[in-house]
Structure 1
Amino acid sequence: MSSESTTQSIDVLDLMRRLEQSERRCDELERAAAIGVQEQSRINALVEHSGAGVIVVDSHERVVWTNQTFRKVFCTANGEETEPTGRACHEVLCKKSKPCDACPVLARRCGEEVARRELKLWVHDRFRHVYATAMPIIEPDGTVEQDLVMLQDLTDLKVLQESEEALRASEQRFRSIFEKVAAGMITTRLDGAYLQANPAICAMLGYTESEILRKQFQQTVHEGDFEKFQQQFDEVLAGRRRDIELEMRYLRKDGTTMWGHTTSVWQFDAENRPTYCIHLIQDINQRKYAMHALQESRLKYEGLINTLEGIVWEADAETFEFSFVSPQAEQILGYPVDKWLSQPRFWRNHVHPDDLQRAVEASNEARKHKCGYELEYRIVAADGRTVWLRDTVGVVQQNGEVTKLRGVMIDITKRREAELALQTSEAQLRQSQKMEAIGRLAGGIAHDFNNILTAITGYAELMQQKMDETHEMFRETNEIGKAARRAAELTRQLLAFSRQQVLQSRVLDLNEVIIDMVQMVHRLIGEDIELVTEHADGLGSVKADPGQIQQVILNLAVNARDAMPGGGKLTIFTENVTIKNKQSDGRQAEIESGDYVMITLGDTGTGMTEEVLVQLFEPFFTTKEKGKGTGLGLSTVYGIVRQSGGHIIVESTLGEGTTFFVYLPRVEGKAEVSDSTETAAEKLTTGTETILLVEDDETVRELAVEILTINGYTVVEARNGVEALDIYKEKSDEIDMLVTDVVMPQMGGKELAEKLAVIAPDLKVLFLSGYTSTAIVEQGILDVETNFLQKPFTLRAFAGKVRSLLDS
């Protein structure tokens, strides 16, 4: 074979070899392409369905491609999809106009091969945690024009992690609390078996943990209290409640009990069935004991307040608005407690107007000086009574200021009334003692003065009997007699005041006495004063001297007339009155119980002050101008009324008038008619009998001897009772009558008469005196109708009285 043919054969073989190689390479490429398509499908499926958003951004951070997940998660809102391609990635993801600091694309382009960042992006309606990974897309020539960014939503994973962490933290906190808390904590199953018990509950009940875990809850609770727990547990089982809160007694290992405040919280499964319970138990033993002690203290306090005879109160220091008042307020004053508390000005509205300023000032001073006080004042009760209270007040301070006042109001009405009665009684006693002292003085003066007047009038009469009316001395002796009689009237008034005159008492009808005096009173008071008299029907009788009662009425009428210089009204009326001390009012309280006839004499004059009223009945006390009054008118009235066994009371208001109340004891029997016929004594004055005359005053004794001698009698003289007794023993057969003064030194007339009555019971006795003690008359020693003669006396009266007794 030629070389050319050989060469051609080699070329064909080589070409066939190459063709075969090309076919093999095409097969390989086809297989590789198929594998590539398969891999690409796998990659596409992975990118589309991985759950991560994938985007491709160019060198200008514009989005050039996204997968469906990205479009669905980050570009869809309210069902509408926003086209992301062509927009800057920070606008699409961060909603910002420029890249954020945490941008992973920038970080990758600044040198990181693969940049990973955790971003917080606003997605739909909330922020979401997104894990972003940026990696380069390398071109075949090795350049990088684009970056692929994978975005994975970590929100659910984050929540799970946080939940797990929170759960672990919660479990740790619960374990820490469970182990270290001072309160007892246990967990129990549905049947009450203990699952856990912390150290505190073990210490409370005295068990070890292993001992208590072998017990059931109901075994450690007091039987009486577990019933209450069971009732509420039944409600838990019924779905009506989820927790229980009770105060129960727990049984300790040593048999004692412990009070515990128990809060039981049940845990439920998915079907809302209780599975186990956590119990929190707080030891409240001390609190219970304290509450018990407080309750006992409160009961004692309330008992004390409720039994205290006073009003316990609390009020605002400035407004005096009450915040507390004890129940006794209604009992003492009649106002319900709610009125005290609801009416801001209750206290001010009911304190007596005359005491309000003083009471308010006391409370203001307490607030100012921060110290308590004690005050007595009046308050008007619901029924109108005036109640005296002693208020003992203390202050309550807060931050250095007095905020409240607290006190106790004690009803002292009875004490104040007793004190007032005592003060009145003491004043009356002092007045009575003063009047008695003045009376004794007046009586003594009148007695001595009457002895002098007896001599003056007696000798004046003797002189006149020895001369006719033409005698040059007749007028002078007549004037001496008139002056003596005026002086005798003055002493008579003094005796009336001192209650030492002898009253000619008989049973009277005061209506008749007043009727007989109407004309006289009319003339006395004048026409410009209206006289009104009222006479009670069935008026009782009194025993008194009619002349003296007339004097009382006349003197009171004169007093009323002088109190009404411009005219007015004088009222005189009578009535029967019965006094009962326990039921009498203030005016009658000083009068003894009994039946009285009362004369009331009232005027509409000027009235009197308290100062004048105190001295009203004192002798020689007068408010009239000098020379217009003796000051004996009302003192005479006082003496006559008191000597008649009665009382006189005066009430007066300045500018309104004065009223006198005269109380005379009521007696049985009808009024006696006075006998105005001339007595035997006035007809006959002479005699021949022998008379023992006893008189300590020499002037009076000499006058009496002369009068008796002129009238024919034989007179034996004695200076006192002792001397007279000796004389009578010597001359008892000669003496027919005893004429004696009542008050004498050594032995008075009363004692002399008593001694002679033993020796000579039929001896006639005539008493003479300037005054006579009421006691002598009341004891029956003197019969004032027959055996007494008041000094000064006239010659005829003396001689006639002697003759009358001798003939009786």
Structure 2
Amino acid sequence: MPITRGGIPGDELQQNLRAHYDPLFRVVVLLSFVALVINVYRVVVDGPMYHSVIQLVVVAVMTITLSFRHRFSQSTVACFLMSAFFVGCVVGLLRLGLGAAALLAFVLIPMFLVVLSSYKNAIFSLFGIALTILIVGYLHVSGGINSESNLADQNREFMSWLILALVFTNVTYAAVYITDRLRSYWSSTFDDLKSSHDEVNALIEHSPTAILIYDVDSNSFVRANPRAAELFSTSADELTGKPTYLDLFAEPVSYDPATTQNLQDHILAALGGETRIFETELLPPRGAPVVCELTLNHLPLDGRRFVRFTAQDIRHRKEAEIERKSLEAQLAQSQRLEAVGKLSGGVAHDFNNLLAVILGNAEMLRDATQDTEQLAMLDSITSSVQRGADLTQNMLSFARKARLNPQVIDLNEIVRDLKNWAGRTVPANIDVEVSLLAGLWPIEVDQSALQNAILNLLINARDVMPDGGKLTIETANLRIDDDYIVERGEEVPPGRYTLLAISDTGSGIPESTINRIFEPFFSTKPAGKGSGLGLSMVLGFMRQSGGTVRVYSEPGEGTTFKLYFPTSKSSKLSEAQKTANRASLTKGGQTVLVVEDEPELLDLLVTTLSNAGYNVVAASSGDEAFEVFQRSPGFDLLLTDIVMPGTLQGTSLSRALRELNPDLPAVFMSGYASEATVHGNGLRPEDIRLMKPVTRSALLAALDKALKPATPPEE
């Protein structure tokens, strides 16, 4: 804002003026001391005449004021100086009249006041001086004052004094006006410059990015804002003056090796007018390097070669980018595994029906022949069917659609009993170390599936240690919170978990394949040495059980698989399942309604049950079976597939039939285990569910168990 007439300069402008005129004031002080010496000499030589004494006092006051000017405000200094100067000029005017040099010195008083004080004070002093000239002139004309003899006649002409006063007033006013305009322009320029400086300084000082000004000629940083100091964990003073750019910056990261440029190339390009943006590492005087996005551009200052370094901390962005890529990879893998899981579940249904037909016919042929060679071939067929059934079961386990029978168990007991059910899986050249946590939390899982999963991991550990090694099995309690899940990308809810860790000292898993080991049919073993479904089955079982599995491996050091089981809400352990009584191969009197939409499998079931002594009535759909039951409701048992064409599926058929006969037992068969869950509205806890393909002994045992409640006890 320009300073208006009559205004007083602000504190900052006064300080600027004081600093600007300080060299002049020093010269004036020196001259004042010289004048003081001269006046003292005159008083001593000529005697203490009034004008000499007054001038001596005036000079002394001016000298003292100027010598101690920094102790007073600028207005006070200006008032003292101008007052003393005025008194000195008046003394000279009284003594010499129109011939006094003070007439010229009077002009300086308003000019100094307009600069040092205000325009209004300068105008007041102007008119005051003009009035003083007229008064002194009147005194000379009237004879009240006697001047020097050679000037007496000239001093008695009042018109000369009047003309002098008018000329003085006009000339001095012009000088004051020009000086005031110059001061106003100066003040306006000063304020604009200060405002611009403050804005630029605020932009630098309060910038959210680190800014450093680099002087190419001195090879050092000359300015650093607080954000730069914070980024480097130091002070701005430590960053300026001494460090060069090589002290603070590493060579920039290059995405294209063909266009690799060092930091000096970027600086020279910035001096040429280009704006360079690239990633690099900042090397603080203390602490770890910081990854930043650096922008270099030239500051257009005349005669100065300045380059501005603008550093944006991108550590969080890099972390977010890494996390995003990790989530994308997890999503892609999850989608891929989900697609394979759906395919596996869909294929398993029809595949199990085919295996059931092959197995049933092979068992019937085995009963009908005594030829050793044919029996061997039939055993081979049966074995292959069983392997196919295991393969299908593994596929369903991976797809999380296997039928499980969870029960509360103590994981430590399973591990302690390892040698009994694992057999000779682990050879003698492998040292097994077991570390079991006392007070381990119980878990609720399918014991058979758990043993199968552990067995798969033991086999893998054995295969990677052909020359022997060390196998460690550990159990532990673990609490998983939200931070743990986010940090490790787990797919389990927070809560209490029981951990089973199996570690080996084998060759480890290469980083290029560790993300694929859970994919079905992916295997690093030679052809014919593995199906590639073992680990996928483990993953499917763990996820279906509400937990997860993680793998940690270092090539050349070994591998650790960690299985996380959700802790059971019940602390009561289930009793071991008792071995089922072997079913009798022949029965008599019971009538079974068999419902199956596959004609070949239906014929096989009818033949198997008829040979076992059951009265069998067949139906190819649920609707047909319901009509048969309505005509003759005296059936002892329902044996039905779950998914069939028509309105009534297996479970809805059982519900409809039980409305007619509430005590009707039922055995359900399925080639797709999750069907019992999806369509299980008609299932009861005591109902038996069989997974195709079913051996003849397992089928007859299931029927025997289902019919036991209806069979009168033997006497």
Normalised by the shorter chain, which TM-score bucket?
0.5 to 0.7
Equivalent AA in structure 1 for residue 500 of structure 2: I
1:373 aligns with 2:282: no
Q: Which has the higher strand share?
A: 1
Equivalent AA in structure 2 for residue 626 of structure 1: A
1:447 aligns with 2:341: no
Larger Rg belongs to: 1
Distance 2:284 2:662 in 1: 70
Residue of structure 2 in register with 1:542 after alignment: 443
Query: Relative to 1, partners in 2 of residues 1:675 and 1:600: Cα closer, same or farther, differing over 3 Å?
Result: closer
Distance 1:475 1:547 in 2: 29
Query: How far apart are 1:540 and its partner, in Å?
Result: 0.9
Query: Relative to 1, partners in 2 of residues 1:188 and 1:672: Cα closer, same or farther, differing over 3 Å?
Result: closer
Distance 1:573 1:377 in 2: 44
Deviates more, 1:205-214 or 1:701-710: 205-214
Query: How far apart are 1:562 and its partner, in Å?
Result: 2.6
Distance 1:590 1:382 in 2: 41
Residue of structure 1 in register with 2:128 after alignment: 215
Q: Secondary structure at the match of 1:214?
A: helix
Equivalent AA in structure 2 for residue 215 of structure 1: G
1:190 aligns with 2:84: yes
Q: Secondary structure at the match of 2:523?
A: coil
Deviations 1:699-733 (A, max 9, x none): 222211222222333333333444444544x3362
Equivalent AA in structure 2 for residue 214 of structure 1: F
1:311 aligns with 2:185: no
Residue of structure 2 in register with 1:74 after alignment: none
The 5 Å alignment of 1:384-463 reads 389-396=292-299, 403-413=306-316, 415-463=317-365
Query: Relative to 1, partners in 2 of residues 1:356 and 1:755: Cα closer, same or farther, differing over 3 Å?
Result: same
Query: Relative to 1, partners in 2 of residues 1:290 and 1:609: Cα closer, same or farther, differing over 3 Å?
Result: farther
Residue of structure 2 in register with 1:568 after alignment: 469
Residue of structure 2 in register with 1:552 after alignment: 453
The 5 Å alignment of 1:279-678 reads 283-301=182-200, 303-305=202-204, 307-315=206-214, 322-329=221-228, 331=230, 334-341=233-240, 344=243, 361=261, 363-370=263-270, 371-376=274-279, 389-396=292-299, 403-413=306-316, 415-467=317-369, 469=370, 473-518=374-419, 523-584=424-485, 586-587=487-488, 589-670=490-571, 672=573, 674-675=575-576, 677-678=578-579
Q: Secondary structure at the match of 2:364?
A: helix
Instruction: Say if 1:688 and 1:712, in contact at 8 Å, map to a contact too.
Output: yes
Instruction: Say if 2:551 and 2:561, in contact at 8 Å, map to a contact too.
Output: yes
Query: Relative to 1, partners in 2 of residues 1:291 and 1:191: Cα closer, same or farther, differing over 3 Å?
Result: closer
Distance 2:399 2:379 in 1: 30
Could you tell me the percent identity over the aligned residues? 31
Deviations 1:177-232 (A, max 9, x none): xxxxxxx9xx9561646843279949987799997533379xxxxxxxxxxxxxxx
Equivalent AA in structure 2 for residue 737 of structure 1: L
Instruction: Say if 1:652 and 1:658, in contact at 8 Å, map to a contact too.
Output: yes
Query: Relative to 1, partners in 2 of residues 1:365 and 1:551: Cα closer, same or farther, differing over 3 Å?
Result: farther
Deviations 1:291-315 (A, max 9, x none): 4344444554555555544323334
The 5 Å alignment of 1:725-764 reads 725-728=626-629, 730-731=630-631, 733-746=633-646, 748-754=649-655, 756=657, 761-764=662-665
Instruction: Say if 1:645 and 1:664, in contact at 8 Å, map to a contact too.
Output: yes
Query: How far apart are 1:776 and its partner, in Å?
Result: 0.7
Distance 2:269 2:459 in 1: 58
Deviations 1:570-614 (A, max 9, x none): 222121111112355633554432211122222233223333122
Query: How far apart are 1:617 and its partner, in Å?
Result: 1.0
Distance 2:609 2:500 in 1: 45
Distance 1:282 1:651 in 2: 82
Query: Relative to 1, partners in 2 of residues 1:796 and 1:582: Cα closer, same or farther, differing over 3 Å?
Result: same
Instruction: Say if 2:253 and 2:278, in contact at 8 Å, map to a contact too.
Output: no
Query: Relative to 1, partners in 2 of residues 1:498 and 1:403: Cα closer, same or farther, differing over 3 Å?
Result: same
Q: Secondary structure at the match of 1:629?
A: coil
Equivalent AA in structure 2 for residue 314 of structure 1: I
1:711 aligns with 2:612: yes
Residue of structure 1 in register with 2:583 after alignment: 682
Distance 1:733 1:667 in 2: 43
Equivalent AA in structure 2 for residue 327 of structure 1: P
Equivalent AA in structure 2 for residue 196 of structure 1: F
Distance 2:490 2:301 in 1: 51
Instruction: Say if 1:721 and 1:749, in contact at 8 Å, map to a contact too.
Output: yes
Query: How far apart are 1:798 and its partner, in Å?
Result: 0.8
Deviates more, 1:291-300 or 1:509-518: 291-300
User: 5+ unaligned residues in a row in structure 2: which ranges?
Assistant: 1-77, 90-104, 131-171, 710-715
Distance 1:566 1:551 in 2: 24
Distance 1:696 1:421 in 2: 50
Query: Relative to 1, partners in 2 of residues 1:563 and 1:759: Cα closer, same or farther, differing over 3 Å?
Result: same
Instruction: Say if 2:652 and 2:682, in contact at 8 Å, map to a contact too.
Output: no
Distance 1:800 1:521 in 2: 26
Query: How far apart are 1:360 and its partner, in Å?
Result: 9.4
Q: Secondary structure at the match of 1:486?
A: helix
Equivalent AA in structure 1 for residue 277 of structure 2: E
Greater RCO (Cα-Cα under 8 Å, separation 6 or more): 2
The 5 Å alignment of 1:118-157 reads none
Residue of structure 1 in register with 2:95 after alignment: none
Give me the CA root mean square deviation. 4.4
Query: Relative to 1, partners in 2 of residues 1:733 and 1:509: Cα closer, same or farther, differing over 3 Å?
Result: same
Count of matched residue pairs: 564
Query: How far apart are 1:486 and its partner, in Å?
Result: 2.2
Query: How far apart are 1:788 and its partner, in Å?
Result: 0.5
Q: TM-score, normalised by structure 1?
A: 0.60
Distance 1:318 1:572 in 2: 66
Query: How far apart are 1:552 and its partner, in Å?
Result: 1.6
Instruction: Say if 2:82 and 2:109, in contact at 8 Å, map to a contact too.
Output: no
Query: Relative to 1, partners in 2 of residues 1:189 and 1:448: Cα closer, same or farther, differing over 3 Å?
Result: closer
Distance 2:242 2:451 in 1: 60
Instruction: Say if 1:352 and 1:380, in contact at 8 Å, map to a contact too.
Output: no
Query: How far apart are 1:488 and its partner, in Å?
Result: 1.9
Distance 1:600 1:435 in 2: 24
Deviations 1:429-472 (A, max 9, x none): 221121121122223333222211111111222222334x5666
Equivalent AA in structure 1 for residue 227 of structure 2: Q
